[in-house]
Amino acid sequence: MKRQTTYAGQARIDLVRIWQYIASSHGPAPADSVVRRIGAAMRDVIQKHPNVGRSRPEFGNVRSYPVVPYVVFYRVDSQRVEVLRIVHGHRDIREPLMSLLAAV
């Protein structure tokens, strides 16, 4: 079953910041490409196969999926995939994801 994908407010902020960072150092075309790759991963992989991502029980009912160099954190229910955060893979993920524990 293909689920609808939604982006939490913080995930939208993450996408904007990712685009701004890449655009400032490499230009808008590479920034657009990265944001498109993240969207395509959600649309072409996660919507169709939501359990493909790694289970992250330390953050509640959360899964993660790599879109190198980023990691997308998301939650699945019967109707949708909710993208929660998009974090650079080299970043310590505990701090940005601790808010997910409070929201559960």
Give yes or no for residue 102 having a pLDDT over 60: no
Question: What pLDDT sits at residue 67?
Answer: 95
Give yes or no for residue 95 having a pLDDT over 90: no
Of the two residues 58 and 11, the one the predictor is more confident about is 11
Give yes or no for residue 103 having a pLDDT over 70: no
CATH class of 4-103: alpha beta
Contact call for residues 60 and 48 (beta carbons, < 8 A): no
Q: Which segments within the chain are labelled E, that is strand?
A: 4-7, 54-55, 63-67, 70-76, 80-88
**Domain segments of the chain as ranges:** 4-103
Condensed to tens digits (0 to 9), the pLDDT of residues 51-61 reads 999 999 888 88
Contact call for residues 39 and 48 (beta carbons, < 8 A): no
